Structure formats: structure tokens, C-alpha cells
């Protein structure tokens, strides 16, 4: 009989369930119900079933002491399991879509080393102009490519900055940054090669690109400076 029929017979409860019968084979069964053509495992009755299981029906039985009761037939609630799997798939799809959208919206070529950098009193308040910071001297150590210097894009600029440092005498590029957003700066970087002690005339080229479309390149600013390498 099904659950509705049992409830109709016992509207106030009072019936006894001896054991559960699982419709799927399980090696953890404590006893067996043996019939003419089949053997089913019996399991301890659980008053509260797991969310993933359901009651299929009841079998009226009499135990060895002559007491009447029921064996409850239990099976997996496949529709619930399916819903759980579908929910997991939907969450995974939403998560992956979020990653894809984030990557899609991310501007290609942004400098990953750039950090937030603000200088009191230095802010571009004219949307029709570009504020270029001054660079006069860069300092480094002999046989060490690492340079600590601020390559800055001031607040208020409506464009990306891309710095290129060239050795003026040879025209060789010593360093090129990625795109730097307004209000950010590269605080340290590495040259493409080691240099001996000395003073090297350099050219700091600041290329500017449209904030909405980085493919649009504006005029570049060229700053003459010195790279001082000490022992």
C-alpha cells in the first residue's frame, strides 16, 4: 500500500514500522526478507528520511511474536537528485559566465603592476587636456636591472598612459610599461639589461590612449631625463 492509504487507515498514527526496505542493493543491510523469487535487505527504520530519499509504500507483516506492523519501502528521490544536479550546473554556468564577462570587459594590455597612487594637488580638472607628470632623473645600481621610480598617470586624465624608456644615444628601448589607468602608477620596474656605472641620457616617452577605446592613440609626450647608475 502507498503512504496515502496507510495514513487513511491510521489517521492518528499508532502503526509500527519494523524496518526499511531499500529498492537498491546495499551491503549494509542487517537482515533479509526472503521471498520465492527475491531477497531484499532490511535496514533500521529511520523516522526522518534524507532529502534525497522518498517513501514508495508499505508492506503489512507480522513479526515472530505475532505483532502486526509494516515494512517501509524506500527509494531514491531521483527528481530531487536531478534538481540538485541541475542547480549545481546552473551555479557553475553562472560562475563561469561571470569569469568570462569579467575577462571580456577587462582592457587588454593593462599593466598588472600598477597600483593606486594619488598626489595632493596634482589632478587634471580640464577634460580637454592631458596632464603629464615630470620625470627628470631615474636611479639604479650597477649590474642590477631593478629601478624604483614612479611612472604616474594623474587623476582626472581621460586616457591611459604607456611609458617607454629609451637610451637616447642608441635609441634602444630599456623598458616599456603596460597601460596605466588614471590615478594609478608603476612604482618599480626592471630594465631590459644591466648597465655599468655612469650617467645615461634617456628619453621617457608617454604614449596616451583613449580611455574608452585604447586602440585610439593620442599624441605622445617626450621627456628628456637622465638614468644615473651607481656602483
Distance CA 171, CA 175 (A): 12
Give per-residue pLDDT as tens, 119-152: 888 899 888 888 988 889 999 999 899 999 999 9
Question: Are residues 133 and 187 both part of a single domain?
Answer: yes
Residue 115 pLDDT more than 90?
A: yes
Cell 628619453 -> residue? 203
The chain-wide mean pLDDT, for the chain, equals: 84
Q: Which pairing describes strands 173-176 and 159-167: parallel, antiparallel, or unpaired?
A: antiparallel
Looking at residues 1-23, what average pLDDT do you find? 79
Eight-class DSSP state of 219: P
CA–CA dist 223, 138 (Å, integer): 12
When pLDDT is cut at 50, 70 and 90, the band that residue 16 belongs to is confident
Tally of domains in the chain: 2
Residue 90 lies in a domain: no
Beta carbons within 10 angstroms of residue 157's beta carbon: 22
pLDDT at 66: 84
**What CATH number has the domain bearing residue 163?**
2.60.40.2550
153 and 72 inside one domain: no
Q: Is the domain of 75 the same as that of 125?
A: no
For the chain, how many residues are written?
231
CA distances from 143 to 4, 27, 164, 176, 229 (A): 86, 71, 21, 19, 9
Q: Are 135 and 204 in contact (CB under 8 A)?
A: yes
Asked, for residue 100, whether it belongs to a domain, the answer is: no
Which has the higher per-residue pLDDT, 81 or 55?
A: 55
For 189, how many CA atoms within 13 A lie in the half-sphere containing its CB?
Answer: 24
| 75 and 119 inside one domain | no
- Interval 83-89 mean pLDDT: 86
Please report whether residue 106 resides in a domain.
no
Neighbours of 207 (CB within 10 A): 18
Q: What is the pLDDT of residues 155-175, one digit of tens each?
A: 999 999 999 999 998 999 999
Kindly state whether residues 156 and 206 are assigned to the same domain: yes
Cα–Cα distance for residue pair 231/211, rounded to 1 Å: 41
Query: 210 and 160, same structural domain?
Result: yes
pTM of the complete model beyond 0.75: no
Distance CA 141, CA 147 (A): 8
Strand duo 173-176 + 221-230: pairing: unpaired
Domain range for 39: 3-79
Report the relative pairing of strands 198-210 and 17-22 from DSSP bridges: unpaired
Q: How far apart are CA 27 and CA 55, in angstroms?
A: 20
Identify which has the larger pLDDT, 90 or 50: 90
Amino acid at each position: 500500500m502507498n503512504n496515502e492509504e496507510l495514513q487513511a487507515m491510521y489517521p492518528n498514527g499508532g502503526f509500527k514500522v519494523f524496518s526499511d526496505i531499500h529498492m537498491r542493493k546495499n551491503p549494509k543491510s542487517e537482515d533479509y526478507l526472503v521471498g520465492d523469487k527475491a531477497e531484499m535487505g532490511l535496514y533500521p527504520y529511520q523516522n526522518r528520511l534524507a532529502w534525497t530519499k522518498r517513501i514508495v509504500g508499505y508492506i503489512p507483516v507480522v513479526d515472530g511474536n505475532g505483532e502486526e506492523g509494516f515494512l517501509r519501502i524506500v527509494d531514491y528521490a531521483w527528481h530531487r537528485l536531478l534538481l540538485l544536479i541541475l542547480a549545481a550546473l546552473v551555479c557553475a554556468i553562472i560562475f563561469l559566465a561571470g569569469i568570462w564577462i569579467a575577462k571580456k570587459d577587462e582592457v587588454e594590455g593593462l599593466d598588472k603592476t600598477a597600483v593606486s597612487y594619488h598626489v595632493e594637488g596634482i589632478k587634471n580638472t580640464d577634460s580637454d587636456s592631458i596632464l603629464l607628470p615630470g620625470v627628470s632623473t631615474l636611479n639604479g645600481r650597477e649590474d642590477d636591472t631593478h629601478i624604483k621610480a614612479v611612472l604616474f598617470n594623474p587623476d582626472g586624465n581621460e586616457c591611459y598612459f604607456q611609458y617607454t624608456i629609451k637610451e637616447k644615444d642608441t635609441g634602444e628601448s630599456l623598458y616599456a610599461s603596460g597601460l596605466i589607468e588614471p590615478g594609478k602608477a608603476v612604482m618599480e620596474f626592471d630594465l631590459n639589461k644591466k648597465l655599468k656605472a655612469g650617467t645615461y641620457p634617456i628619453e621617457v616617452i608617454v604614449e596616451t590612449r583613449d580611455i574608452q577605446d585604447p586602440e585610439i592613440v593620442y599624441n605622445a609626450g617626450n621627456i628628456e631625463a637622465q638614468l644615473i647608475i651607481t656602483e
